[in-house]
């Protein structure tokens, strides 16, 4: 079973093309995105917002080990 839906792939593709063109901007600040990783993250985030099948974001909190 696929982890990501086709729609999610299309959103990432759109974000990557915008990045290459130089028109992809990040959230609040509106700064131009240069990194490929950031472009993928933005594409997945937009796909998530549109209801596409995308795994949950990993939390940035470190896990507690006993």
Please tell me the predicted confidence (pLDDT) of residue 38: 94
**Secondary structure (3-state) at 20:** helix
User: Residue 48 burial by CB count (10 A; 0-12/13-18/19+): exposed, middle or buried?
Assistant: middle
Q: Are 4 and 53 in contact (CB under 8 A)?
A: yes
Packing angle, helices 6-21 and 36-49, rounded to 10: 140
Do the domain assignments include residue 15? yes
In a domain, 26, yes or no: yes
pLDDT of residue 63: 67
Q: pTM of this prediction?
A: 0.77
Structural domain of 21? 6-49
Q: Do the Cβ atoms of 50 and 41 come closer than 8 Å?
A: no
Within a domain: residue 20? yes
pLDDT tens for the chain, 66 residues long, are 678 899 999 999 999 999 999 999 998 899 999 999 999 999 999 998 988 888 887 777 776 777
In a domain, 38, yes or no: yes
Residue 1 lies in a domain: no
pLDDT value for 42: 92
Number of domains in the chain: 1
């Amino acid at each position: 079973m696929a982890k990501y839906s086709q729609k999610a792939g299309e959103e990432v593709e759109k974000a990557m093309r915008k990045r290459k063109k130089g028109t992809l901007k990040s959230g609040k600040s509106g700064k131009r995105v240069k990194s490929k990783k950031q472009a993928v993250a933005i594409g997945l985030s937009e796909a998530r917002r549109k209801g596409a099948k995308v795994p949950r974001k990993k939390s940035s909190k470190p896990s507690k080990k006993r």
